[in-house]
Structure 1
Amino acid sequence: MRTVRALSAALLTLGLAAAPAAADASPSPSQDSSDAPTRAGTSFRTATEIEQEQRATASGSTGDYLYWSFPADTGQRPTVRATVKLPDTHAAQTWQIDVYDGLRRRQACQYGAQTRTAAANAPSVDLACVLRTVRAWSEPWANDPLPGTYYIRLTATGVPTSDLGLPVDTEVRADSRDIGGSAAVDGSLAEPLVPGIATTSGEAQENAAVLAGLEPEDGWASGWWSDRWVWTAVGGVLAALAGVAGYMLTRGAGRPSRVPPAG
């Protein structure tokens, strides 16, 4: 009977532990397309801000540098995709998408077609860059992705002189996958790497313009919950059950056998 009660308590504990994880796993609603930006910046300082899962479009010219920025938080693995619609007539062109963090450090792509060459007269070219998982903290000498603002730069790297200035239409989108406790580290930044966030403090910061104003929907470091908490709870429950089972076995083995006295 006691074993049954212990098992019931363990299941209840697991249910309570898993509930927040299930809530965090629910997909976030996509941004309203009517509010999507329709232009791009020409430098880091003028980068157009976009939310994650928001489709942004912009018109430009071949040879221009186009910039966007988006927020990425701890535990997320961002994926940036871009599509360039080329003019009807053009020579072969090479396009490239680069991603930089809040310190303007270029972040390497784990995989994806970061650079592609469009054949002559091709209608469009698609690019993608999957970054490493954003860490809560890193050594100063490391180049690990950290929470904060990320910049997208789209440009043509190999364009014949005859194609410079031709009109193009672009489309970009940034999404993230929550990795969870497998990427968790001990430590955290005092502030996310958002340009301008550390230039003022207190009440002055509320009235000061910052270079990047977007943040995750639930605020920075919203991913404090991870499946490490679930596995820690599971380990504790299993250890408790093992202790109860061991106690029951040793208690039963230590009892003297009751043999009726000889007549």
Structure 2
Amino acid sequence: MFSQVVATLISLMLVAPVLASFELEIPLIVAALIQGSIAAFLGSRLGLASWWLPINLLFSPALVSALSFDVAPSWFLAAFVLLFLIYWSVFRSQIPLYLSSRKAWAAVAGLLPGKEGARFLDLGAGLGGMLSYLDAQHPNGKFSGMEIAPLPFALGWTRKIATRGNYSLLWGDFWQYSLAGQDVVYAYLSPVPMARLWRKVCEEMPSGSRFISNTFSVPGVEPEKVVELDDFHHSRLYVYRVPARQEMDAGA
């Protein structure tokens, strides 16, 4: 948002006067592309993740294009509310909503420990698809998940009630939640939090337990195994074994 505001001010206070001095009249969509290019540049200089750059670039052109269709303002309000309920914390966490594929569900089910009552936690459970699948495949497991976005959480909770799922779905920030006692923790987040999350995993999870990350690896840490999913996104699971405390101290 900051880069969009600054880019708009630069466009109005610097770019527009320069174009006016040459008596150039440009279409509104071109002006929006200029503003978007400035916003994308500012975003890159501010250190935003690469996936933010096309959003900054195309935000104003998309808005101008939508206005040209004479859409009722109520639709824009509805779209804003919908996006807010899904992505309201992305600007802070830099973790968008990713939904795991069914092939990911099946692969994770095969990686669960065979012991009775194994504990599994899904960080960013989305619509609860992973939890619902594992609960059906392993009725003796203890499955739980966390989701911070209001709309995905509400849909996931509705799914749990409708299917009478025997798992827990909590609304909240997983950074404030302890991972102690979990046998497997699963995450499908983004590259941004992986180093910090690995530190949390090593500090809180028992040694020998597993941390599984969909698509995004932990920087500088060799996984125990990598599982190719061959799904639509050609995803892979990075499977890490949580080291004992003395191993961590020796590697420090």
Return the structure number with greater relative CO, CA threshold 8 A, min gap 6: 1
Please give the TM-score of this superposition, normalised by the length of structure 1. Answer: 0.28
Find the structure with the greater CA-based Rg: 1
Bigger fraction of residues in strand: 1
Bigger proportion of residues as helix: 2
